[in-house]
Each structure stands twice: as structure tokens, then as C-alpha cells.
Amino acid sequence: MKLRQSERRKAFIKMALQGSAGSGKTYSSLLLAKGLANGNLSKVAIIDTENGSADLYAHFGNYNVLTFSPPFTPESYIKAVEICENAGMQVIIIDSISHEWDELLDFHSKLAGNSFANWAKVTPRQKAFVDKILQSKTHIIATMRTKQDYVLNQKDGKFIPEKVGLKAVQKESLDYEFTLVFDVDIKHFATSSKDRTGLFMDKPEFQISEKTGQQILDWCNSGNELVITNLSEQEVYENIQKCNSIAELLALYKENPQHQETLKPDFEARKSLLNQLSNTPNGYAKL
């Protein structure tokens, strides 16, 4: 391991749009994707879980659609993302990821035994799904449905449910994993509830356009290219053994292309060991 100065590198945006039915999440995602792809919709793919809603905007341009049906397992989503990656897509819209969480909740409810202990069978699958999104070398826009959220407040000795706003249908705090999160209302106006880019935080509500996607693309491209290290083969081998996560191992692999071929077996062996230690499904991260 080496200590270095912080550095803003070129990035692939991982963003989410959350809103209720009819808020225009799919169309807004297409506008963003067109901007992110520099206007080339042939490099945009929509993973459609919304009963063919992606085809409703076919007049918008020649984007690609991948439709799949229940069960909406995390593994199915991972496979769908990989299909889009292998096809050379620059932007992937996942519309929506709420079905994945519904599927896991249903799976958990059917497990026999202790409900709390059974989350150990669910969490690794959710983590593999999230890691696939975060580690993808493409721009990813994920949509999430929202529903009314309630809290129990005590009144006159009784607990009464009270509305506290809308909540995304996904695992709690998943929005923290994204670089950028837009909340879209029924009038199609967006505000940013999470923004590491600094482009939209604390700004007035606005309607998403292709220009919004172009702004985000400019931010992604404003960093430096990934620096290739000059580590020797022995140093890379030693660092492989020190990697404690798939993400760390993958970064080491990509930063040392000069040693990828000779040390491929060592990378694969370490990846296999890390998968076993974390009890995650094999193969969710590819070198």
C-alpha cells in the first residue's frame, strides 16, 4: 500500500431517480442518458422491468431495450447489466430497481426459521447487486418507485400512524451509494437529495433535460485519467495477497495492465478466496 495525494479522476456516474408513478422517471432517464452519450442513443440501453414501458418512447430515438420478466432476482439484474456492458453500451438505465428489493423481501418472508438470522441469506445477494452497479465501467441511471412513508406517534396513550413523506422502494440508505440522486415529483420537476458533484445541490427545482446529462458528463470527464502504476511484477503479486475486497483487487488489476497476463492466475485465486470469505455468489465481479 502507498500513501498518495487525493486526485479527482474521470468517473462513470452512478445516479438514481426516485418518484411516484407518473412522475416521468423513464423519460427523464432517457433525456439524461442522451446527454451522457453525447446524443448517441444507440449507445444507451434500458433494462425494462416495467411491463414494456421503455418502448413507449421509441419515437425518442434508436436506444436499446432489454426486457425481462419475474422473478426479478439480483442475479437476473447482474446478468442484464453484463449483457449491456458486453454490447458496448455507454449508458445503462435500470428501470426500475424497486422490483429487485421486492423480490428479496418476498424471498426472505418465505424462509423458515429465525427472521433476523435469515437476513444472512439475503444481504450477500443485495451486496452483489449493488457492487455490480458501482463497479460497472459505464454510466448507470437507476429508477426507484416511491411510496408513502409513516411513523408511529403517541397521542392520548395510543400510537397513531402519521404520514412523513415519500420513501423509495429499495433497501434503506441505498441512496447513499449513488453519486447523485434526483427526486422527481408528479409535475416532472426534480430536486437533488444527494449530490457529490456539487452541480445541483441546494438549487431550485427544475425539469430534467438532455443538457442536464451533458452537465453531468462534463463533470465526469473533468478528472484525470487513471494513472498506470510502475510496480514490478513481484510488488503487484505482494499487493494481490494484501487485497481485502473484490473492489480493491479489481482496482489493482486495472492499474497494472502490464502484469495482467502473467499474474492472472494469482488474481483469480485471490478473487476466489475473497468470495469464499465473504460468502458471496461466485463470479459477481469479473476481472
Pair 74, 208 in one domain: yes
Whether residue 138 is contained in a domain is answered as yes
Residue whose cell numbers read 458471496: 280
C-alpha triplet 67, 93, 84: angle, nearest 5° = 65
Q: Which residue has the higher pLDDT, 21 or 93?
A: 93
State the DSSP string of 163-176. EEEEEESSSTTGGG
d(CA 27, CA 118): 38
Task: Give residue 3's pLDDT.
Answer: 67
Q: Which residue has the higher pLDDT, 220 or 168?
A: 220
Q: Which residue has the higher pLDDT, 226 or 191?
A: 191
Pair 83, 187 in one domain: yes
Whether residue 93 is contained in a domain is answered as yes
Task: Give residue 235's pLDDT.
Answer: 87
Percent of the chain with pLDDT over 70: 84
Pair 202, 257 in one domain: no
Find the CATH number of the domain harbouring 160.
Answer: 3.40.50.300
Pair 256, 193 in one domain: no
Task: Give residue 21's pLDDT.
Answer: 84
The tens digit of pLDDT for each residue in 133-147 reads: 999 999 999 999 887
d(CA 163, CA 166): 9
State the DSSP string of 65-87. EEE--S---HHHHHHHHHHHHHT
As given in the structure block, the three cell numbers for residue 218 are 462534463
d(CA 95, CA 65): 11
Q: Which of 246, 285, 240 is nearest to 266 (CA)?
A: 240
Q: Which residue has the higher pLDDT, 145 or 162?
A: 145
Q: Which residue has the higher pLDDT, 16 or 55?
A: 16
Mean pLDDT over 4-9 rounds to 61
Mean pLDDT over 214-226 rounds to 81
Radius of gyration of the chain (CA): 21
The tens digit of pLDDT for each residue in 115-129 reads: 899 999 999 999 999
As given in the structure block, the three cell numbers for residue 217 are 458528463
Q: How many domains does the chain have?
A: 2
Residue 7 has pLDDT above 70, yes or no: no
Tell me the residue length of the chain. Answer: 287
Pair 43, 105 in one domain: yes
Pair 266, 166 in one domain: no
Sort 172 into a burial class: Cβ within 10 Å, 0-12 / 13-18 / 19+: exposed
Whether residue 272 is contained in a domain is answered as yes
State the amino acid at position 257 in one-letter form: P
Residue 144 in contact with residue 193, Cβ under 8 Å? no
Q: Which of 281, 285, 287 is nearest to 73 (CA)?
A: 281
Residue 55 CB neighbours (<10 A): 11
The tens digit of pLDDT for each residue in 71-81 reads: 999 999 999 99
Q: Which of 18-22, 36-40, 90-94, 105-109 has the lowest mean pLDDT?
A: 18-22
Task: Give residue 150's pLDDT.
Answer: 46
Residues 6+ apart with CB under 8 A from 242: 1
Residue 101 has pLDDT above 80, yes or no: yes
pLDDT category of residue 163 using cuts at 50, 70 and 90: very low
Mean pLDDT over 23-49 rounds to 95
Whether residue 284 is contained in a domain is answered as no
Pair 209, 260 in one domain: no
Q: Which helix (H) or strand (E) holds 154?
A: strand 139-155
Task: Give residue 50's pLDDT.
Answer: 80
pLDDT category of residue 230 using cuts at 50, 70 and 90: low
Mean pLDDT over 11-33 rounds to 92
Residue 2 has pLDDT above 80, yes or no: no
Residue 149 has pLDDT above 90, yes or no: no
- Rounded to the nearest integer, the mean pLDDT of the chain is 85
Range of the domain at 267: 233-278
Residue 164 has pLDDT above 90, yes or no: no
The tens digit of pLDDT for each residue in 195-204 reads: 988 999 888 9
Pair 128, 270 in one domain: no
